[in-house]
Amino acid sequence: MNYKNFPMVPRVIFGRGSFNQLSEIISPKRLSSAAPFIYLVDDVFKSNSWLTSRISLSYDDRIIYISTKEEPKTSQVDTLVEEIILSTKARPSGIIGIGGGSVLDLAKAVSIMLTNEGETRLYQGWDLVKNPGLYHVGIPTLSGTGAEVSRTTVLTGPDKKLGINSDFTPFDQVVLDPELTKDVPCDQWFYTGMDCFIHSIESLKGTYLNAFSKTYGDMAFNLCQEVFLNNSALSKEETEDKLMMASWHGGMSIVYSQVGIAHAMSYGLSYVLGTKHGIGNCVVFDHLEEFYPEGVQLFKKMKMKHNIELPQGICAQLSEEEMNAMINIALGLEPLWENALGKNWKKRISSKQLKSLYLKM
């Protein structure tokens, strides 16, 4: 057996208000006065001085606001990298991403692409990155994806949606300040939180499971139940703290295993319909009782408790071609199916089954 040797986030600060310490954390990393820190910030914070007034800009430091209407694309990374190269006198000292999974992934990708040649799409895959990226810091403002700990950055390219999985992808520093999540709208809180719940289920019910993944997965699973089902004894602050830690553990759990069927099928929805990750996972998971009976039952309880109405019939209008594309994208994610159903997964799932599942969504 040849075990994989994974990198981890080497530094993390946790606590409400820890965001205030950002400038003292990063200032030793400044390479020169000509080498700025570039902040990629979700544009939902554009006129939010509670957050932005605490970003202290010196020399040529600057903030680039990022729209998260659509999830990150390889072409978007290329444009950002070019813009940064053209507008800075020296290679930046670091990239700081402040936002949900979308902005965290963009920050990781931009940091890599500032030190690696060619187009971003060439690096979608496993271990294709040659040079370490720039110093990069992740500051989540939305909990659930695990993007703050993961070794990947998920990007939609011209012909596939696939991560840049590499040893250079994880952040050099993460700032976990649960207070930054206080204004997330309820629906979004649920969808992205469920991403974490689904990570834990897919990891714990997968055939790749081992003690490393199980311990982290159990932790994420239990925290999600506390936050989404048994939260009557918890303050809002406590739920924010716990969900941020659930996200971290859910992300750690899949480092040494894989996600499963909900993610495979949600990637199909995303590629063909542009459905976002959190809501797409919920739409799919709602119909996966057959594969994850207890998990789906708990999910339905959580959905009811928080009055979440998922969209219906989103695949009803698809052409034959689009449906086939969706199925092919989903089935192409072989490790996810192998994790979910075992080595003989091809005997246990067919295009026909997938089509009938998609038509229910």
The residue of the chain with the least Cβ separation from Zn ion equals 195
Nearer to ligand NAD, 93 or 239 (CB): 239
CA dist., res. 300 & res. 327, Å (int): 25
Quick one: which of 94, 101, 206, 260 contacts ligand NAD (CB under 6 A)?
101
Contact between 70 and 161 (Cβ < 8 Å): no
Which x/- pattern over 191-210 shows residues binding Zn ion (rule: CB under 5 A)? ----x---------------
Q: Is 148 in the site for Zn ion (CB under 5 A)?
A: no
Q: Which does 275 bind (CB under 5 to 8 A by kind): ligand NAD, Zn ion, none?
A: none
Quick one: which of 137, 147, 204, 244 contacts ligand NAD (CB under 6 A)?
147
DSSP 127: S
Q: Which does 111 bind (CB under 5 to 8 A by kind): Zn ion, ligand NAD, none?
A: none
Nearer to Zn ion, 42 or 195 (CB): 195
Q: Is 183 in the site for ligand NAD (CB under 6 A)?
A: yes
Token representation of residue 257: 């295993």
Q: Helices 186-204 & 261-273, crossing angle to 10 degrees?
A: 140
Q: Which does 42 bind (CB under 5 to 8 A by kind): ligand NAD, Zn ion, none?
A: ligand NAD
CA dist., res. 69 & res. 79, Å (int): 17
Token representation of residue 140: 């989540």
C-alpha dihedral sign at 336, 342, 343, 345: negative
Q: Is 260 in the site for ligand NAD (CB under 6 A)?
A: no
Cβ neighbours of 178 (radius 10 Å) = 23
Q: Is 105 in the site for Zn ion (CB under 5 A)?
A: no
3-state secondary structure of 177: coil
- Where b means 16+ CB within 10 Å and e means fewer, 99-134 reads bbbbbbbbbbbbbbbbebeeebbebbeeeebeeebb
Q: Is 358 exposed, middle or buried, given 0-12, 13-18 or 19+ CB atoms closer than 10 A?
A: buried
CA dist., res. 106 & res. 67, Å (int): 11
Of the ranges 26-34, 75-83, 146-154, 202-210, which one interacts with ligand NAD (CB under 6 A)? Answer: 146-154
Laid out side by side, the sheet with 154-156 consists of 125-126, 161-165, 154-156
Q: Is 102 in the site for ligand NAD (CB under 6 A)?
A: yes
Q: For the chain, what is the largest distance between any 2 Cα atoms, rounded to a whole number of angstroms?
A: 60
Query: Smallest gap, in angstroms, from Cβ of residue 241 to ligand NAD?
Result: 15
Q: Are strands 161-165 and 154-156 parallel, antiparallel or unpaired?
A: antiparallel
Of the ranges 3-11, 82-90, 184-192, 320-328, which one interacts with ligand NAD (CB under 6 A)? Answer: 184-192
Query: 263: closest CA among 179, 335, 320, 323?
Result: 335
Q: Is 290 in the site for ligand NAD (CB under 6 A)?
A: no
Q: Is 179 in the site for Zn ion (CB under 5 A)?
A: no
Of the ranges 4-12, 159-167, 187-195, 213-221, which one interacts with Zn ion (CB under 5 A)? Answer: 187-195
Of the ranges 56-64, 141-149, 235-243, 297-305, which one interacts with ligand NAD (CB under 6 A)? Answer: 141-149
- Contact residues for Zn ion (CB under 5 A)? 195
- Contact residues for ligand NAD (CB under 6 A)? 42, 44, 68, 71-72, 99-103, 105, 141-142, 145-147, 150, 152-154, 180-181, 183-184, 188, 192, 195, 277-278
